[in-house]
Amino acid sequence: MKIEAADRVRALPPYLFAAIDRMKSEARQRGMDVIDFGIGDPDVPTPEPIIEALCRAARRPENHRYPAYPGKLECRRACAEFYARRFGVSLDPASEVLTLIGSKEGIAHLPLAMMNPGDLALVPDPAYPVYATTVRFVGGEVLRYRLRSADEFLPDLDAIPEEAARRAKLLYINYPNNPTGGVASLEDLQRIEAFAERHDLIVVSDLAYSEMFFEDPPPPSFLQVPGARARCIEFYSLSKTYNMTGWRVGFAVGEPTLCAALGKIKTNMDSGVFGAVQDAAIAAITGDQGSVEVMRRTYRERRDVLAAALRQLGLAVRPPKATFYFFAALPAGVKSMDFAARLLQEAGIVCTPGVGFGEGGEGFVRFALSVPIERIREAADRLTRFTI
């Protein structure tokens, strides 16, 4: 029988959030009122001016045809303007910016563009599962490196064996960090850049959460580090900044050869982002940024309510300075899967077991703040009747 999935599919565990979705719908079928702190998917609608820009752009016939593969130049220019305004980094929109069908798409295709079978990638542990999975898809090897929970979940670079660092091709980083909420300062990024330079590594920086911050200074881009742009491809997403997860639009920026290689893969795999979505992305990036400030206030308020509730439950929490993720440490010996399953069964509350992000996430659970404040209060109330 030839109807059998490829080995890489059979070896693949269910996608973390797909597995959680299944548990959620089972609980709902049992009649449970579920409060969902699982996936980080903003519950607030996309700001109205962006929706209006999309509606206008959808009526333009030129947007009904195949889009330009790397994205409209105006859209890439808007991204370059954002980098100049926010990070003081100047990018050539033609060679250093590529439009993506969401940053996940670009992250997932990058190994295809950069890795030969047997090449090694250094991937944080814990981390967004897509990094390691897609390296393995192309026959690449993965070495997970630990993030230190004692500080801002920064890389424990000294623990990476010298031989592995020398052999590796890619170093993945993600600050502000999913799932831990950790933030790297410019000095921290400088240390990472020095390590990457010493071992001639390509740095793959996931910057999806740069605008979701609650404290100054705002989180930096890896491209701000002197010398970094010669070895870095960075992924920026509109999903979290403008509540646009469903729209699928993001950017790859950085070293031109890396952008070109990814772009070449993409010309063979997809036909680019719908032109009207790109016009809406331009409106988002170049328009009034008031909604971004509202977004920060909303999550700050939610963060503080949830922090109080988790502390009352006896969890060690450090409210994140950025991102909408709480990475709460469980008491010693409590397994994150067991805790998450019990919390759902007994309190109807969904969180993500830390181990789903790698062994380094064991002993933690993640709560995403994509839940309205009244529901967080309801969760806080349920937690008073829950014992660990």
Binding stretches for ligand MLT (CB under 6 A): 39-41, 104, 128, 178, 368
- At its nearest, how many Å lie between ligand MLT and the CB of residue 198? 31
- Please, which residue, 104 or 303, has the CB nearer to ligand MLT? 104
Find the shortest distance in angstroms from Cβ 349 to ligand MLT. 16
Q: Which is nearer to ligand MLT, 203 or 368 (CB)?
A: 368
Contact assessment for residue 360 and residue 147, using Cβ atoms and an 8 Å cutoff: yes
Crossing angle between the packed helical segments 103-114 and 256-269, to the nearest 10 degrees: 100
Closest separation in Å from C-beta 148 to ligand MLT? 20
Rg (CA), the chain: 21
Output 63 or 245, the one with its CB closest to ligand MLT: 245
The answer to whether the beta carbons of residues 87 and 234 sit under 8 Å apart is no
φ, ψ at 366 (rounded to 5°): -110, 130
d(CA 208, CA 190): 19
Residue nearest to ligand MLT (CB): 40
Asked if 352 and 365 count as a contact pair (C-beta separation under 8 A), the reply is yes
Residue closer to ligand MLT, measured from CB, 153 or 195: 153
CB of 99 to ligand MLT, least distance (A): 18
Q: What is the closest distance, in whole angstroms, from the C-beta atom of residue 101 to ligand MLT in the complex?
A: 13
Q: How far apart are CA 272 and CA 81, in angstroms?
A: 21
Choose between 183 and 368: whose C-beta lies nearer to ligand MLT.
368
The least distance separating ligand MLT from the CB of residue 366, rounded to whole angstroms, comes to 8
Query: Do 366 and 357 contact (CB within 8 A), yes or no?
Result: yes
CB of 58 to ligand MLT, least distance (A): 25
> In this complex, which beta carbon is closest to ligand MLT, that of residue 178 or of residue 241?
178
Residue 127 in contact with residue 358, Cβ under 8 Å?
yes
Cβ proximity to ligand MLT, 128 vs 247, nearer residue:
128
